Amino acid sequence: MKSLALALVLTLTCLAAPPEIDKGKAVGNPTARVRIEIFSDYACPACKTFHEETLPTLLKEFAATGKVQIVSREFPLNIPAHRYSREAAAYATAAAKVGKYDAVASALFHSQEAWNASGKVWETVAAVLTPEQQKKVQVLAKDPAVLSQVQADVNYGTGAGINGTPTLILSNASQRYPVSGYALNYNLLKSMINDLSK
C-alpha cells in the first residue's frame, strides 16, 4: 500500500513542473533529451566529493558534448550541523545572477569545513568575486526573489521525494528518477544517462 502511495506521489511529481531553470546554474544543451538536476547542500561532505570528483567527468563527457543539460538546484538541509547552508545557497544563487555560480559553488565546496565551522560564508564567497560583483551579490542574496528561488528548489526536491544530498533527478521527456547514494557511482550514472538518451 505504501509503495502504491509512493508510486502515486512519484507519478504526480513527475507531472508537476519543476521551478524555472536559472540559466546561470545550467550548463550543456538546453534541448538535450536528458536533463540532470543536482540537489546539493554546500555543507554536505558527500556533495563536495560529488562536485569535485564526479561532476567534472559528467560535464566533460555529457554536458560539453551536448548530450545532457546539467542544472544545479539548492537543497540546504535544515539541521543544526548545516546552519549556514541556506545562507550559502542564497549567495550561490545570487552569484548565478552575475555569472559567477561555478566559481562560488566551487569555493564553497572547497572551503566547506572552514566556513561551516566559523560561519564566515561571505568571506569564502567574496574571495572569488570582484569588488563590483561583491556589491551586487550582497544585495541579491537578500532579495526576496532569490530567497524564494532557493525555497522553490527545496520544495521541488521535497516533492520529488528527496530526503538527503547529494541527489540527482535524471529526466527525459516522459520519466523522472531521483538518484542518490551508491547509484551516484559514475559508471551507473553513465549507463543510466545512456539508457535514458535512447
Closest to another protein by CB, 147 or 184:
184
Work out whether 178 is an interface residue with another protein (CB under 8 A): yes
CB 95 within 8 A of CB 137: yes
CB atoms within 10 A of CB 8: 10
Interacting residues of 20 by C-beta distance below 8 A, sequence separation 6+: none
User: Whole-number minimum distance, CB 57 to another protein, in Å?
Assistant: 16
Work out whether 196 is an interface residue with another protein (CB under 8 A): yes
Work out whether 6 is an interface residue with another protein (CB under 8 A): yes
C-alpha 122: how far from chain center? 19
Among 3, 17, 31, 144, binds another protein (CB under 8 A): 3
User: Whole-number minimum distance, CB 67 to another protein, in Å?
Assistant: 17
Whether the CA torsion 35, 192, 194, 184 is positive or negative: it is: positive
CB 24 within 8 A of CB 171: no
Binding site for another protein (CB under 8 A): 2-3, 6-7, 10, 161, 163-164, 177-185, 188-189, 191-192, 195-196
